[in-house]
C-alpha cells in the first residue's frame, strides 16, 4: 500500500471533502452513465461520470465515491461536487449504491452485515465491469467514502489494499468492532472544520 500522493490529498481534502460537507453540487462538462449489476440476486445501481476529454483506449484513473448512511449513489453524485473535479483533473468518478442505503462495513452491527451482504465482493464486480466497459487505469484506482461510506472505505483498506492505490475517509473513522480484527494501511482522514467552509 502506497501513501496518498500530494495531488490526491489536494483533491480529496481541499476540494472534495469541503464540497461533500457543505452539500455543494456542480454542473459538469463530462458525461454521465448508469448501469446495473446483479449481485447476490439483487440489482445494484452504479452511476459513472466520465470526465470531459475522456477517450476510449486511453487508460484513465478511477475514484470510487461511497455515499453515507441513508443516501444513494445518485444523490451523492448530485451533492458531492466530485464531477467538476473529475473534469478538471481527468479521472472517472463511480458512485455505487449500497443495497439497503447502508454499507456492510464489517462491524456485524448493521443490517447489511447481519444479512450477509457482500459489499466488498460487489465493489470487486464494479471494478470488473468498469474494466470491461471503459478504459480504466487499474494501477490508479482510489476509494473515498463519506460518513458511513467512509467506514466502509476503512474496511476496503483492510481487505483490498492490493486493489486500490489509496483510500480516504471523510467524516468517519473505522468502526470499533472492525478495528479489533483489522489494521488498515495508512488512509487519509478528513473531519469537517468551519475554517475550511466557503
Residue 82 lies in a domain: yes
Has residue 124 been placed in a domain?
yes
Q: Is residue 196 part of a domain?
A: no
* CATH number of the domain to which 173 belongs: 3.40.50.1820
Q: Tell whether 27 is covered by a domain.
A: no
Count the domains in the chain.
1
Question: What pTM was computed for the model?
Answer: 0.83
> Mind listing the pLDDT tens digit of every residue in the chain (198 residues)?
344 444 444 445 444 443 444 344 445 689 999 999 999 999 999 999 999 999 999 999 999 999 999 999 999 999 999 999 999 999 999 999 999 889 999 888 899 999 999 999 999 999 999 999 999 999 999 999 999 999 999 999 989 999 999 999 898 878 788 888 877 655 555 545 554 344
197 in any annotated domain: no
Indicate whether 167 belongs to any domain: yes
Spatial CB neighbours of 193, under 8 Å, sequence gap ≥ 6: none
- As a whole number of Å, the end-to-end CA separation of the chain is 33
Residues 178 and 28 sit within 8 Å (Cβ to Cβ) = no
Per-residue HEC secondary structure of 126-168 comes to HHHHHHHHCCEEEEEEEEEEECHHHHHHHHHHHHCCCCCCEEE
Residue 195 placed within a domain: no
Q: At what angle do helices 148-159 and 119-133 cross, to 10 degrees?
A: 80
Range of the domain at 80: 6-20+33-50+59-190
> Vertex 157, ends 89 and 173: CA angle to 5°?
95
The answer to whether the beta carbons of residues 62 and 119 sit under 8 Å apart is no
Amino acid at each position: 500500500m502506497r501513501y496518498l500522493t500530494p495531488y490526491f490529498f489536494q483533491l480529496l481534502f481541499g476540494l472534495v471533502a469541503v464540497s461533500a460537507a457543505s452539500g455543494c453540487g456542480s454542473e459538469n462538462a463530462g458525461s454521465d452513465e448508469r448501469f446495473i449489476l446483479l449481485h447476490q440476486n439483487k440489482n445494484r445501481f452504479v452511476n459513472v461520470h466520465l470526465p470531459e476529454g475522456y477517450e476510449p483506449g486511453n487508460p484513465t484513473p478511477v475514484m470510487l465515491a461511497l455515499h453515507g448512511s441513508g443516501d444513494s449513489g445518485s444523490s451523492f453524485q448530485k451533492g458531492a461536487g466530485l464531477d467538476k473535479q473529475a473534469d478538471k483533473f481527468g479521472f472517472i468518478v463511480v458512485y455505487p449504491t449500497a443495497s439497503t442505503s447502508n454499507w456492510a462495513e464489517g462491524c456485524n452491527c448493521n443490517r447489511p452485515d447481519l444479512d450477509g451482504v457482500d459489499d466488498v465482493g460487489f465493489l470487486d464486480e464494479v471494478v470488473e465491469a468498469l474494466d470491461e466497459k471503459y478504459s480504466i487505469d487499474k494501477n490508479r484506482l482510489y476509494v473515498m467514502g463519506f460518513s458511513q461510506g467512509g467506514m466502509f472505505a476503512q474496511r476496503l483498506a483492510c481487505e483490498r489494499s492490493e486493489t486500490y492505490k489509496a483510500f480516504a475517509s471523510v467524516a468517519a473513522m473505522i468502526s470499533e468492532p472492525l478495528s479489533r480484527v483489522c489494521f488498515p494501511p495508512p488512509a487519509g482522514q478528513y473531519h469537517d472544520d468551519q475554517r475550511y467552509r466557503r
